[in-house]
Each structure stands twice: as C-alpha cells, then as structure tokens.
Structure 1
Amino acid sequence: MKKLVFALLLVSGFAFAQDMKVVSGNFDFLKDQKEINIEFDYSNFTMMKENKSEAQYVEEHKADLNSKVKGNGNIWQKQWISAKDQIWTPKFLEIGNIVLSKAGKDVTFQEGAKTPYTLIVRTVWIYPGWDAGIMKQPAKVTTNLKFVESANKSNVLLEITSEEAPGDQWGNNFSNESRIGEGYAKTAKSLSKLLLKKAYN
C-alpha cells in the first residue's frame, strides 16, 4: 500500500512539472484579434532522455515490437505517423479553444486562417511515458511557441517556451500517442490561460 501511495505521489508531482516562460516580446498585438492562424512544426524534434532523433526512436521501437509479434511494429509505425494530424494537433486546437471559449472570449486558433498573426507550435522534445497498470509515468512534451507576422514570419512578436508539459489521463492509457496528445492538450491549456491573463484580461 505504501508503494502505491508513493507511486501516486510521483505521478502527481509530474502532473505539475510544466514550465512556461516568455522568452521575448509582449501580448499587446493580440488584444483585438478574433482569430489566430496556427501552424504545427514536427520536423525536427528529439525524444527520450537520450535525445534520440524521431527517426531513430521510430526504428528502434518498431524493431522491438516486431521482435515480440511479427508485424506489430509496422502497424505501430503507421499509428505514430498519423498521430500528429489525428491526435496531437486536434488536441491542441480543441483544448486551447475550449479554455478561451469558457472564459467568454471571442477568439480562436484556426489552421489555415487568413489573419495578420500566426502561432507556430514547434515541437522540441517528447518523452512518451509509460503505463504498466498500477504504476505509470505521464508523457512530457516540450515546445517552442512563436507568434509571428503572417506576411513576414521572420518577424517574431512573441516567443514562449513550454517545457515538459505532462500528458496523462485518469485511469489507464496504454497508447504512447494518446498520452503525448494529452501533453499537447496541457500545452494549449496553459497557453490559453496565459493569453487570458496577459492579452484578454
């Protein structure tokens, strides 16, 4: 019983480990915006404590799964590739917009919007976590969040770093991709709360 309580305390500790910092810029330009274009950049991130490339992680994990049950690694690889568009991006958009809406603010993040400003969500690092039933560790997602001029994306108006946003759900979640998706949801939730405080108060 003591081990279970300790494990739960560990998980609880991880749940509050996210660190969101404003690197540069201010929030003034957002005040009158009703819609913000958003882009997701998954092109160059590292994984695990060893900072493996995504390609290395995928090959190793696929090989491990295939060694246990032939073909399972190939199936997982397809799930991993589709997770970006089907889980991670939608989770960010859904939760970010829900937080803004519940606060009564008429502003949303939208992909492909023709707006003056664009938020670029660049993934920097991912830890997928694990779930072994009675014990588990949440995923962690580190991102760089840049608000830029849509017409001149080299002009960064606001830059925020989000480190180790935890991804977990109540109950069991044996899908790495789903746990990571919860990390993007947490990132969006924290960002929207920050915008409510700094830009839309």
Structure 2
Amino acid sequence: MKKLLLFTMLMTLTFSFGQKRKDIEGSIKNLKGITEYKLVFDYENLKVHKFNTEEEFLKDKMDKREEKNVGGGEKFKKSWFADRENLYEPKYIESFNKRFDGGAVKVGKDITNAKYTMKVKTTWIYPGYNVGVVKQPSKVNATIIIYETATPDKVVFSTKYFKVPGSNFYGADFNSGYRIAESYAKLAKEMAKYILKKAK
C-alpha cells in the first residue's frame, strides 16, 4: 500500500513539473493595472488525446457505451458538453479569483462591461482515468489570450500552457469531468500566479 501511495505521489509530481508555458504575443507586464476581465471560453477545433478530432473521440466513446446500454452513448455526449459550463468554467473562475486579496483582480463571464477580455482557448485534452488502484490525471493544453473587448484583434498578451495536470488526490475524480475541471483550476492558478509575479 505504501509503495502504491508513493508511486501515485511521484506520478503527480512528474505531471506537475512536466507542465510548461510559452508566451506568444505581447508582454505579461501589459496586464499591470487591469482589475477585471470579461471571461470567455473557446473549445473550437478541440482535440482529444489519441484522436484527430473531438468528433472521433465522441464517436468512439458513444459506440462503446451504446453497445453496453442503449442510450448510454447519447448520455455520455450530453454530459461531455455540459461539463464545460457546469464544471470546467466555474472551477477556472473560482480558482483564479481566490488568488487575489479583496477581489483586486477578477474574471467573470458576467463582467460584460470590462475593458479587457480573457479568452481561454482549449486546444487539447487528455481525460485521464481513475480505476481505483491505478490513476492518471487529466491534462489540458490551452492558450490564454487577453485583448481589448471592443477590438478583439488588438491582443495585449497571449500565452500557451501545455499539459496542465488535473487530479483530486483524495480520490473523488472517478468521473472524467471532475478530473478535467481540476486541470482548469490548475490552469487558472498558474495564470493568476504569473500575473501576481510579473504584471508589475
């Protein structure tokens, strides 16, 4: 049991340290003084690990579930898309906003009058798995783009995060939606930390 616990911890650390970021456009310093962002999420052309397209992934998972239980495939598809608004996005918002004392900087889908918009564009997802004795955290690649809300083509700053891990160490992540949501929480945490450290 101790060996299994040690292995799990090492795997978690491996994924944490394997995570990378690459700035694409502008400078993080351009975010100095910005106190709020309208938040939007973009999942267009999303790819899922081992599949060329999200559609291929869904077809594979739906077919397997349909063989076992009629209607199971459609149920999975509905849940897959609903998890975005129900799990991923709230986790990102909560994780980001709690990093700033007194709401000094905040993001929200309902902050429609903000001068700047933060777009979280997900490009790749690895759902991970948890079968009890063996588990792999989810991972997400995402580009975060900051632009003037009134002029979306005027990008202030953009950066890409690679293989951001998401896992609940206490085991409450047998559902892929909960694992992936933790990747968004981690993504938000890393972005907030970057702003706190460098946007001065």
User: Given the two structures, how large is their TM-score scaled by the length of structure 1?
Assistant: 0.90
Q: For 1:12-91, what aligned pairs fall within 5 Å after superposition?
A: 12-48=13-49, 50-91=50-91
Query: What are structure 1's unaligned runs of at least 5 residues?
Result: none
Match of 1:158 in 2: 157
Match of 1:121 in 2: 120
Match of 1:132 in 2: 131
SS in 1 for 2:94: helix
Asked if structure 2 preserves the Cα contact closer than 8 Å seen for 1:16 and 1:166, the reply is no
1:43-75 CA-partner distances (Å, limit 9, x unpaired): 211011x24311111111011112223322222
CA distance in 2, matches of 1:17, 1:189: 16
Alpha-carbon distance, 1:7 to partner = 4.6
Alpha-carbon distance, 1:18 to partner = 1.7
Asked if structure 1 preserves the Cα contact closer than 8 Å seen for 2:97 and 2:103, the reply is no
CA distance in 2, matches of 1:141, 1:84: 13
1:6–1:153 Cα change, 3 Å: same
Match of 1:9 in 2: 10
1:78-105 CA-partner distances (Å, limit 9, x unpaired): 111101111111111110111123xx55
CA distance in 2, matches of 1:16, 1:188: 16
Alpha-carbon distance, 1:157 to partner = 1.1
Count how many residue pairs are aligned between Structure 1 and Structure 2: 197
CA distance in 1, matches of 2:133, 2:170: 10
Query: What are structure 2's unaligned runs of at least 5 residues?
Result: none
Alpha-carbon distance, 1:2 to partner = 7.9
Q: Greater shift after overlay, 6-15 or 89-98?
A: 6-15
Q: For 1:172-191, what aligned pairs fall within 5 Å after superposition?
A: 172=171, 173-191=173-191
1:27–1:57 Cα change, 3 Å: same
SS in 1 for 2:155: strand
Alpha-carbon distance, 1:29 to partner = 3.7
